Amino acid sequence: MKTILLSLSLLLTVSLFSRLMGQGEVQSLSELNYTNERTFGMTALSNGLGIDYRYGKRVDGFTRRLWEVDFSSLRHLKEKKSAATQIANSRFVYGKLYQVFSLKLGFGWQKELFSKTDVGSLSIRRVITFGPSLALLKPIYYEVYYRELGTTLQERFDMDNPNHANNYIQGRAPFVKGLSEIVPSPGAFVRLGFTFEYGKRKGILNALEAGFMLEGYPLGLEIMATLPRTYAVPRLYLSYRLGRNIPIY
């Protein structure tokens, strides 16, 4: 979270400097704003990583209607605290039941707040999207050693199993274990962000986007055996976006 806030502060500083000092090939308003957009994003979230595709259709010189598809991982907000109970020399979080992924389909608007004066300057845009979200919960299996059997079994975490409560968990089973048992959980999301577009080539869009996203799941997400279900997931994010401006003829 601190990294995201620091990056945003640095970006704002750079944007002010760019608006004062930026020089380059001057483009008309029609070249800059009277276009549609296609962009891909790579995102670091306060509790996961993600990728997305976004299409923006021009409404007027400063507004675009947005459609997006977003896929990201989702960790429990208190998962790091639970990691204090990890078994030595193992790479897993004690008591974690599911690895969670989130698939979102969004609709919204992009509003240009500050426009570019030339290709070397910066534009600032506000982004609002919302829509359905589907959480995919993949069960996690662990390698559990049974001394009395002299063997290791792959099992899901069970608080009532004494072998799971003691130091017999040797690590996580391969990721493919449990793929056939994925559990879906429907929900919804809303996103508010600000995009800082700094591309220097005509037609090519380079941008950083930072903001806040809230996901809600009425059925709850049972991620940790040692913690209650999660119904609301707040997420800060910082995204790098790359794409193209598409002229409207």
The 3-class secondary structure across 122-170, one letter per residue, is CEEEEEEEEEEEEEEEEECEEEEEECCCCEEEEEECCCCCHHHHCCCEE
> pLDDT tens for residues 154-212?
888 887 787 777 667 777 888 899 999 999 999 999 999 999 998 777 778 899 999 99
CA distance 217 to 180: 22
- Judged by average pLDDT, the poorest of 32-36, 50-54, 113-117, 183-187 is 32-36
> What is the CB-side half-sphere exposure of residue 213 using CA atoms within 13 A?
30
pLDDT of residue 33: 54
Side-chain-side CA neighbours of residue 15 (13 Å): 21
Domain boundaries, the chain: 2-85+101-138+184-247
pLDDT at 6: 44
Least confident of 80-94, 113-127, 176-190: 80-94
Residues 51-58: what's their mean pLDDT?
95
Rounded to the nearest angstrom, the gap between the alpha carbon of residue 92 and the centroid of all alpha carbons in its chain is: 21
pTM: 0.79
Residue 6 · residue 44 · CB < 8 Å? no
Strands 98-114 and 48-58 turn out to be unpaired
If you search the block for the tokens 């003829």, which residue do you land on? 249
Instruction: Report the CATH fold assignment for 2-85+101-138+184-247.
Output: Porin (2.40.160)
Helical ranges in the chain per DSSP H: 2-21, 29-33, 79-82, 162-165
Query: Do the Cβ atoms of 127 and 191 come closer than 8 Å?
Result: yes
